[in-house]
Amino acid sequence: MVKMGTVWDRTIEVLNGRTGMIAPIALLGMVVPSVIRDGYVAFSTPGTVSFALTGSVLAIGTLVAMLWSQLAIVAIGTDPATDAASARSQAGARVLPALGITVLLAVVAGLLFVPPVIVLVQSGFNLSAAASGSTVQMTPPTAGAAGFTALYGLAYLVFAIWVGARLVLLNPVILNERRGIGAIRRSVQLTKGLTWRIIGVLILFAIVMLVSTWAAQSVTGIIFRLALGAKGIATATFLSGVVATIVTTVFTALAAVFTAQLYVAVREKLPQE
């Protein structure tokens, strides 16, 4: 039986011995693209075609870079014989399949959220005005529509957590077994019997990451606002966002190493296909 404590201990061992390899990849693939994207959004004029196009390109580029860096860190965390150059090469070879599967899962997730939207629209609720925070008088959703949306949202959240637990090994499978869409089935297979333990780890990890990110962004935001004054609010907000990005990157790299070690621990339990 796979013990999460053992996986965590091995994760710490990897981090202690290979942080020097992981840090540059995380910086290049996670921090830099995110800072460039956020900086463009913060200091550019919204509402123009060029803003939308450039923002979209930067968003896609950031996603690709983050997937690449996560795959590279998984490669480092999976095999102690893997050096930085090999990890970067392996990640580059598998980033497009990872991107395709990520887009597919995002589309499916979006489609599953369509039913409550349809119900709300049919009840007369103005979703566009609500999303923009408009104070224009709107017809509230009916009690039935509101109740259905609340129950559906709760079920959606529970289902999303369960799916997230079953797909936690997706990147290690994509990288190490060179699978495409079949990586989804393989991840579900490998996590059989571990779902509740993985969910517990995911919830704990999410709480710690969110609290740490919020605290770092709030404290540095106050400091930057005091230092820059009223005219520097936009810059202060951007800089505090950079700090939050760095904190998030640390947790993302940690998660990548953990999933790599979890994959190593469970892959011998089931037959390779």
273 residues of the chain, pLDDT tens digit each? 788 888 999 999 999 999 999 999 999 999 999 999 999 988 887 878 888 899 999 999 999 999 999 999 999 999 999 999 999 999 999 999 999 999 999 999 999 989 988 888 887 776 666 666 655 555 667 778 888 889 999 999 999 999 999 999 999 999 999 999 999 999 999 999 899 999 999 999 999 999 999 999 999 999 999 988 888 888 999 999 999 999 999 999 999 999 999 999 998 776 554
8-state DSSP, 2: -
* Amino acid sitting at position 55: G
* Phi, psi of 192, deg, nearest 5: -60, 130
8 A C-beta contact, residue 149 and residue 119: yes
> Residue 273: what pLDDT?
47
pLDDT of residue 131: 62
| Cα angle 72, 255, 21; round to 5 | 40
CA distances from 75 to 79, 85, 98 (A): 6, 11, 14
In the DSSP assignment, the letter for residue 180 is: S
The pTM (predicted TM-score) of the whole model is 0.89
Distance CA 36, CA 59 (A): 10
pLDDT value at residue 129? 64
Q: Which residues contact 80 (CB under 8 A, 6 or more apart)?
A: 14, 17
d(CA 258, CA 273): 23
Of 241, 237, 219, the residue nearest 228 (C-alpha) = 237
| C-alpha distances in Å from residue 266, one per residue of 10, 100, 178 | 13, 25, 17
Question: pLDDT at position 122, please?
Answer: 82
Q: Is 258 exposed, middle or buried (0-12, 13-18, 19+ CB in 10 A)?
A: buried
Are 30 and 66 in contact, with CB atoms under 8 Å apart? yes
